[in-house]
Amino acid sequence: MQAVTQVRRPTLDDMNLSQGKRARLHRLLYLHGPANGTLMPLPVDQGLEHGPRDFFDNPDSLDPEYEIKIALDGGFSAIVFQVGIAQRYLYKYAGRLPLILKVNGKTEIPSDKAAFSPCIAKVEDAVRLGADAVGYTLYVGSPAQSEDIIQFREVRIEAERYGMPVIVWAYPRGDAIETKGGRDGLYAVDYAARVAAELGADVIKVNVPKRDPEKDKLAPKPYSDLDVDEAEATRMVVKSAGNSLVLFSGGSKVSDEVLIAKARLAMGAGATGLIFGRNVWQRRYDQAMKIARSLREMMAEFSA
């Protein structure tokens, strides 16, 4: 199988968007954030997804005002909140800091074997709160994926009606995924990216695929036979997403050097941007500003 080479980064002209979606994405891509044509939202939905434990490393981060300050001072494209936090904290910053409203979510208390995130907000709430996009978590491969896909269809239809861009957190989950190389394998991440594109995502959030010789052999063919490095695997994921914009996540906190290397790999693979949360706001303010500056400077090399 021939390796995938450099992937061209999609633009708004490629996407056949409604006027409302195009206007909102243009604001995120060109009027806010690190560099023309790139996206760098700051996700802060972990309080629901993981509970308060993610705030232990930096107690200041328990207060949403801390992340808001990081997003404003660090030059982020937007902040990602669940509806309760968005309603209670962002009213003072309306017009200054773009919002991406997560419309579904879950806790980590039940097992992920049948992962499903119910909707806790509507696209109408995003419009009321002045959001520029909505976020939806889709668990590809979960036994509950049929219900998930049906629920997402309603979000997509509502988003089309309101001209609201949809960002899909495309996350492989479930036992079937684990027996085929794991949630971070190329097969799982590549499949999740394609599913999100097929279902109508405007922007797709995925993890950088990891290469593990032992786990990779468990993936279905031809993935089990692929001899590609992490950079080429990441390009494959971007290509599978078609004309949807792709954001790569940072995951749990790592060193500055590892984070910048991951960011450069992602942008070099054709990603539109980065969506790093814990790797930013789990740091103290001065350290967060330092990493944000490094990310902006690096992303400027990939600006449109």
Looking at the annotation, which residues are catalytic?
A: 171, 205
Structure tokens at 80: 């990602």
222 preceded by a cis bond (ω within 30 of 0): yes
How many Å apart are CA 256 and CA 79, to the nearest integer? 21
Structure tokens at 254: 């790592």
Residue 94 CB-density burial (10 A; 0-12 exposed, 13-18 middle, 19+ buried): exposed
N-to-C CA span, the chain: 31
Contact yes or no for 74/42 (Cβ under 8 A): yes
Secondary structure of residue 96 in the 3-state scheme: coil
Spell out the alpha helix ranges (H) of the chain: 19-26, 46-50, 64-73, 83-89, 123-128, 145-162, 175-178, 186-199, 213-216, 230-240, 256-268, 278-281, 285-300
Residue 140 pairs with which residues in a beta bridge?
172
- Which residues make Cβ contacts (< 8 Å) with residue 180, sequence separation at least 6? 187, 188, 218, 219, 220
- Other beta carbons less than 10 A from residue 62's beta carbon: 13
- Which residues make Cβ contacts (< 8 Å) with residue 40, sequence separation at least 6? 33, 34, 75, 76, 77, 273, 274, 275, 276, 295, 296, 299
Residue 100 pairs with which residues in a beta bridge?
80, 133
